[in-house]
Amino acid sequence: MIAYALRRLLGAIPTLLMLITLAFFMIRLSPGGPFDNERTLPPEIEANLNARYHLDEPLAMQYARYLGNVLRFDFGPSFQYKDWTVNELISSGFPVSATLGLLAMALALVVGLSAGTYAALRQNSWIDYGVMTIAMTGISIPTFVVAPLLILVVALSLGWLPAGGWDWTPARMVMPVVTLALPLIAYISRLMRASLIEVLHSNFIRTARAKGLSERQVIFRHALKPAALPVISFLGPAIASVLTGSVVVERIFTVPGLGSHFVQGALNRDYTLVLGVVVFYGMLIIVLNFLVDLIYAWLDPRIRYDRRWS
């Protein structure tokens, strides 16, 4: 396991380098610049600004400088948020997005795993069809439709919750969390149902039943862990996505999370902010996928990475 972990960590370096390279040159080659939205500046002031942020250097030199800063986990200053660095903006936005994301993921896991398991155990019954119909509906309806509907019904019509804003109170979190969790619930329930049905028809499950174990023991001791493997695979990029914030959800509910910073940075052509969020997001995906692979061995004893990689 240790040898596999080291290989995975070393293999992540070229992936991260490719991500930084593509993101850097794509945003630098896009039309416009970080100061184009401001009023027309005298040439000498614009030259001073470009020199201050090293934008007057050749593109290759800018890339080398940025790569060196990233190695020190320094994403540089923001071009649009005065007196703020990208690290500070990420530090301020990520806790908000992470709080919403973790709550949404916890809700999705509890509801999705329960619904998928129950549907699999009642295969081809009206319960199974009902759960899968609701899941398909949750997948089909995008969050930019669900969020305004929740605001219209729950906040404006019923007056139960505030329509938006952020102050770390549970009332402000309910609707963003539910909006983020609904599509996750749908995906997790479908994955869990399909996987559990397949596992229940496996040879080792038939062996467990032949030994005289009760159906409850068969399900909880032998079936649930291997059935959860596809869900664990899905959780790697899904957790990274909800931790860094949903752009649509944060904008609709006016939540000051990382997704809002990313959108505003893209609109303002804030190179360093957009790059910083992209690199941070890439790091999260790499780390979470790495943890997912390690969890695989714990859930399924048939998987042994050391034998495969030794």
Q: Would you state the pLDDT for residue 310? A: 42
Kindly list the domain boundaries of the chain, sorted by start residue: 87-258
Side-chain half-sphere CA neighbours of 274 within 13 A: 21
With beta carbons less than 8 A apart as the criterion, state whether 90 and 277 touch.
yes
d(Cα 257, Cα 234) in Å, to the nearest integer?
Answer: 23
With beta carbons less than 8 A apart as the criterion, state whether 184 and 104 touch.
yes
With beta carbons less than 8 A apart as the criterion, state whether 137 and 129 touch.
no
d(Cα 156, Cα 125) in Å, to the nearest integer?
Answer: 38
Q: Would you state the pLDDT for residue 108? A: 92
Q: Would you state the pLDDT for residue 34? A: 63
Report mean pLDDT in 10-residue bins for the chain, 310 residues.
71 85 82 60 63 73 86 84 85 88 91 91 87 85 87 89 86 91 90 90 86 85 84 80 75 85 79 86 82 69 52
Q: Would you state the pLDDT for residue 111? A: 93
Q: Would you state the pLDDT for residue 292? A: 75
Q: Would you state the pLDDT for residue 309? A: 42
Q: Which letter does DSSP use for residue 80 in this model?
A: S
Report in angstroms the alpha-carbon separations of 76 from 83, 238, 244, 265: 11, 28, 19, 14
pTM of the model: 0.79
Q: Would you state the pLDDT for residue 203? A: 86
Phi, psi (5° rounding) for residue 85?
-95, 160
Domain 87-258: which topology? Answer: MetI-like fold (1.10.3720)
Q: Is 173 exposed, middle or buried (0-12, 13-18, 19+ CB in 10 A)?
A: buried
Q: Would you state the pLDDT for residue 44? A: 63
Report in angstroms the alpha-carbon separations of 65 from 32, 35, 98, 101, 280: 21, 20, 30, 33, 18
With beta carbons less than 8 A apart as the criterion, state whether 235 and 292 touch.
yes
Local structure of 30: helix, strand or coil: coil
Q: Would you state the pLDDT for residue 113? A: 92
d(Cα 213, Cα 59) in Å, to the nearest integer?
Answer: 67
Q: Would you state the pLDDT for residue 4? A: 66
d(Cα 228, Cα 85) in Å, to the nearest integer?
Answer: 41
With beta carbons less than 8 A apart as the criterion, state whether 24 and 66 touch.
yes
d(Cα 147, Cα 143) in Å, to the nearest integer?
Answer: 6
Helix/strand/coil (H/E/C) assignment for every residue in 129-176: HHHHHHHHHHHHCCHHHHHHHHHHHHHHHCCCCCCCCCCCCHHHHHHH
